[in-house]
């Protein structure tokens, strides 16, 4: 008898009967699973077959069709070279905050100094326009300008301006976890980390991926065994930093170095904050299965 | 429809053959039949402006490295366009050949000074801001650069010959040729830009002399008595409303035109009336406009001017630096937006084709065609590169060898034959009458 068919007027009795039915069903299911496990242990092909047939529908694999996915980037080497640093120089980054920044912004800057390579922090002062700052940077051969945005004592955003000609990216920052809060965290070394970029598939995603590629040098120090992961899932980019160790041929040990934070692309502009190439709007959130990165 | 699209990333001109209703962003919609790349020269040499010459089989492409190319469009006999089923279509691809080119039209040194006073944050490089045919001199082109170089170029025997070069005050955002007059000896044009008020100039004695005929004045200070920033980005001439014929009016310096500024002010000027605008209206507050303005009118000249008087029925399109494309009427009233919700990047190119279609291309790497009347998207094609310019060569439907792709057919609605239709009608009437009786019965009983 199914749960819906129980028509006992006494509520206590009804609850009891339904609980019994459910309990029985659970037991049956556990039994079935145990048996299936036993069969599959004897015959591993069965498991493979079952997993192949039963693929659950997720938001990711039912995403809205996007024709830009996995298409080659249409640009010659010239343009790539323009984006990546020419003449194979390592990137040179200037880090600053918004005007009138509070303690949190400087704390975040301290963390970013450890993460970003070849970075100089400059305290932001009144009276300099962005155009002037960009000019100063260009004269000193900086390749990127990173601005931390803090609002009401919370770090809310990060702006990446690729110099000298842009583009400009603005990311929202959320779910920031300090290094000290991560259980079992390690201490990072000054080695150039390896970079893992996950799931940047669309044309916009590839542009974002290339931004991170251009920020970190292309010759990582493998002896440092440090990895920075930028994992994109549902347009949120997760930042993680680990140290790995090969314990034996099959097992790899991971130690998190921290910090953790999540970025979400809000705006992509051409040049130094000129025309908008792409901007997140609240209407985009209506469609749950449409992803832009 | 056959389109030519100037792509930024690869510096090429793409040819797109598509049908009305094609949409690459929908998997099972109709797809463009053919996309091919021509004259790919790289990002630094990207095509910024394309101008179609008289006849439609020659094109002038202005590249970002200061090169002007005369390109011949011909049919490629060896090409074979296949349908999805693999059948060959009776339509041929186009072949683009560079006939002649002209280099060194820029003045890069001047841009450094211009950048110091500019409100733009990123350093601008010199580029072409307009290449247009000087009607009625069919074979003469006027091309202006952002730094303020104005070149007069003749197209003779498939060659580009520079007749004269002049320097005007930069920076320039537009140089609009006056092609409503019939005087074939002089060439009149207007220019303007950032902190550079609209000026009307005339090239005389075989283009060797340049004289400024008229200069605009800035509008009154605002209510805080601050100077209103100057930045006209587009200008279109109209026929004058006074009695003079076109030739006389040109001699008398009688012009009527409208301008659009970067800060979204729409201004109407009449030179006989004065140097200040007759009307200055703000279109949308706090919005930066791109130098794009497309007039929706049935009598538009090759340079984009309107062979009619300024009237109520005129409307124009303008795009802002975010993602909106607006349509306004001549009273600066917003009529509606085009492509709202679909366009995600700034529209760097907007134009109206034969008062019927709106061609749009932008930073979101799509080319869209809208119906001007309904403002609905007719065609949407992913180009894979930022778009600088779009030209529609023809809007004829593509002749498919068979009935065309299957998905293009709409699902046929089960149509009833005439007899069935009649029968259906009678049944319906019968049922209605029955209902009527039933309803009337209790009423009569109660009364």
The C-alpha atoms of residue B73 and residue B391 are separated, in whole angstroms, by 13
Domain ranges of chain B: 1-35+349-400
For B23, which DSSP code? B
Q: Do A279 and B10 touch (CB under 8 A)?
A: no
Q: Do A275 and B384 touch (CB under 8 A)?
A: no
Among B38, B63, B121, pick the best mutation site for testing chain A contact (most A Cβ within 10 A): B121
> Does residue A278 sit at the B interface (CB-CB below 8 Å)?
yes
**Complex ipTM, two decimals?**
0.84
Q: In chain A, which residues have their Cβ closer than 8 Å to the Cβ of B42? A: 76, 78-79
Query: Which of B10, B321, B365 is opposite residue A274, by nearest beta carbon?
Result: B321
- Alpha-carbon gap: A113 to the closest alpha carbon of chain B (Å): 26
**Within a 10 A sphere around the Cβ of B241, how many other Cβ atoms?**
13
Q: Do A274 and B120 touch (CB under 8 A)?
A: yes
Please report which confidence band the pLDDT of residue B446 belongs to, taking 50, 70 and 90 as the band edges.
very low
Residue A195, classified by CB atoms within 10 Å of its CB into exposed (0-12), middle (13-18) or buried (19+), is: middle
Q: In chain B, which residues have their Cβ closer than 8 Å to the Cβ of A278? A: 344-345, 363-364
CB interface of B with A, residues 287-316, below 8 Å: 290
User: Angle of helix A44-53 relative to helix A11-42, nearest 10 degrees?
Assistant: 120
CB interface of A with B, residues 20-49, below 8 Å: none
The C-alpha atoms of residue A180 and residue A201 are separated, in whole angstroms, by 33
pLDDT at B442 over 90: no
pLDDT score, position B35 = 85
pLDDT score, position B443 = 55
**Within a 10 A sphere around the Cβ of B406, how many other Cβ atoms?**
9
Quote the pTM value.
0.86
Angle of CA points B200, B159, B146, to nearest 5° = 35
For A218, which DSSP code? S
> Does residue A279 sit at the B interface (CB-CB below 8 Å)?
yes
Chain mean pLDDT for chain B: 86
Which residues, including other chains, have CB under 8 Å from residue B355's CB and lie 6 or more apart?
A: B296, B297, B298, B300, B372
The C-alpha atoms of residue A283 and residue B343 are separated, in whole angstroms, by 13
The C-alpha atoms of residue B383 and residue B10 are separated, in whole angstroms, by 11
The structural domains of chain A, ordered by start, are 83-284 (3.40.50.10480)
pLDDT at B402 over 90: no
Q: What is the pLDDT of residues A253-278, one digit of tens each?
A: 999 998 999 999 999 999 899 999 99
pLDDT score, position A90 = 80
For A187, which DSSP code? -
For B298, which DSSP code? S
Report the percentage of chain A scoring pLDDT > 90: 72
Check if the beta carbon of residue A264 is closer than 8 Å to that of residue A158: no
* A242 phi and psi angles, rounded to 5 deg: -135, 165
pLDDT at A36 over 50: yes
The C-alpha atoms of residue A268 and residue A162 are separated, in whole angstroms, by 11
For A3, which DSSP code? G
> Does residue A132 sit at the B interface (CB-CB below 8 Å)?
no
* B315 phi and psi angles, rounded to 5 deg: -140, 165
């Amino acid at each position: 008898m199914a749960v819906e068919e129980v028509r006992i007027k006494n509520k206590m009795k009804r609850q009891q009967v339904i609980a019994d039915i459910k309990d029985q069903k659970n037991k049956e299911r556990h039994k079935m699973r145990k048996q299936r496990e036993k069969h599959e242990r004897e015959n591993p092909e069965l498991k493979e077959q079952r997993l192949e047939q039963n693929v659950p529908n997720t938001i990711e694999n039912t995403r809205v069709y996007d024709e830009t996915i996995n298409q080659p980037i249409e640009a010659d080497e010239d343009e790539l070279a323009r984006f990546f640093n020419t003449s194979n120089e390592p990137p040179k980054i200037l880090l600053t905050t918004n005007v009138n920044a509070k303690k949190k912004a400087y704390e975040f800057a301290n963390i970013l100094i450890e993460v970003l390579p070849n970075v100089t922090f400059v305290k932001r002062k009144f009276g300099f326009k962005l155009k002037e700052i960009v000019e100063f940077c260009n004269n000193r051969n900086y390749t990127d300008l990173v601005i931390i945005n803090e609002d009401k004592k919370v770090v809310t955003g990060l702006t990446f301006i690729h110099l000298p000609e842009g583009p400009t990216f603005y990311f929202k920052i959320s779910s920031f976890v300090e290094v000290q809060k991560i259980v079992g965290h390690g201490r990072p070394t000054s080695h150039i980390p390896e970079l893992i970029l996950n799931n940047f598939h669309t044309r916009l995603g590839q542009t974002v991926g290339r931004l991170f590629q251009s920020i970190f040098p292309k010759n990582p120090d493998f002896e440092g065994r440090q990895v920075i992961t930028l994992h994109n899932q549902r347009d949120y980019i997760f930042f993680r930093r680990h140290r790995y160790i090969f314990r034996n041929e099959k097992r790899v040990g991971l130690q998190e170095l921290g910090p953790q934070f999540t970025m979400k692309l809000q705006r992509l502009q051409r040049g130094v904050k000129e025309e908008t190439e792409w901007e997140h709007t609240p209407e985009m959130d209506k469609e749950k299965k449409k992803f832009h990165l | 429809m056959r389109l030519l699209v100037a792509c930024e990333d690869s510096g090429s001109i793409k040819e797109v053959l598509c049908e009305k209703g094609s949409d690459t962003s929908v998997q099972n919609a109709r797809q463009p039949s053919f996309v091919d790349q021509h004259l790919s020269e790289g990002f630094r040499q990207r095509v910024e402006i394309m101008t179609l010459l008289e006849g439609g089989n020659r094109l002038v492409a202005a590249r970002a490295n200061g090169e002007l190319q005369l390109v011949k469009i011909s049919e490629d006999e060896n090409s074979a366009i296949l349908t999805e089923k693999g059948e060959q279509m009776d339509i041929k691809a186009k072949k683009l050949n560079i006939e002649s080119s002209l280099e060194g039209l820029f003045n890069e040194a001047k841009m450094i000074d211009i950048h110091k006073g500019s409100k733009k944050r990123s350093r601008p490089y010199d580029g072409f801001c307009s290449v247009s045919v000087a009607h009625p001199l069919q074979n003469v082109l006027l091309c202006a650069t952002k730094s303020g170089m104005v070149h007069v170029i003749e197209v003779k025997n498939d060659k580009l010959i520079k007749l004269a070069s002049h320097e005007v005050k930069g920076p320039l955002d537009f140089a609009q040729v006056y092609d409503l007059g019939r005087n074939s000896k002089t060439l009149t044009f207007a220019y303007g830009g950032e902190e550079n008020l609209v000026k009307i100039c005339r090239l005389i004695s075989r283009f060797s002399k340049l004289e400024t005929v008229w200069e605009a004045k800035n509008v009154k200070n605002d209510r805080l008595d601050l100077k209103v920033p100057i930045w006209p980005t587009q200008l279109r001439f109209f026929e004058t409303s006074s009695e003079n014929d076109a030739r006389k009016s040109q001699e008398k310096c009688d012009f009527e035109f409208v301008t659009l500024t970067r800060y979204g002010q729409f201004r109407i000027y009449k030179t006989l009336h004065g140097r200040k605008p007759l009307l200055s209206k703000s279109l949308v507050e706090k919005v930066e406009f791109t130098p794009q303005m497309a007039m929706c009118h049935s009598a538009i000249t090759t340079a984009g001017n309107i062979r009619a008087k300024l009237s109520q029925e005129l409307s124009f399109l303008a795009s802002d630096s975010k993602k909106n494309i607006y349509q306004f009427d001549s009273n600066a009233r917003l009529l509606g937006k085009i492509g709202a919700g679909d366009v995600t990047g700034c529209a760097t190119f907007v134009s109206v084709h034969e008062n019927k279609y709106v061609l749009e291309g932008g930073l979101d790497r799509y080319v869209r065609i809208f119906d001007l009347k309904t403002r609905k998207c007719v065609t949407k094609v992913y180009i894979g590169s930022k778009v600088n310019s779009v030209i529609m060569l023809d809007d004829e439907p593509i002749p498919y060898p068979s009935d065309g792709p299957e998905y293009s057919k709409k699902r046929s609605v089960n149509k009833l034959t005439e007899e069935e239709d009649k029968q259906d009608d009678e049944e319906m009437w019968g049922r209605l009458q029955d209902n009527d009786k039933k309803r009337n019965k209790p009423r009569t009983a109660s009364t």
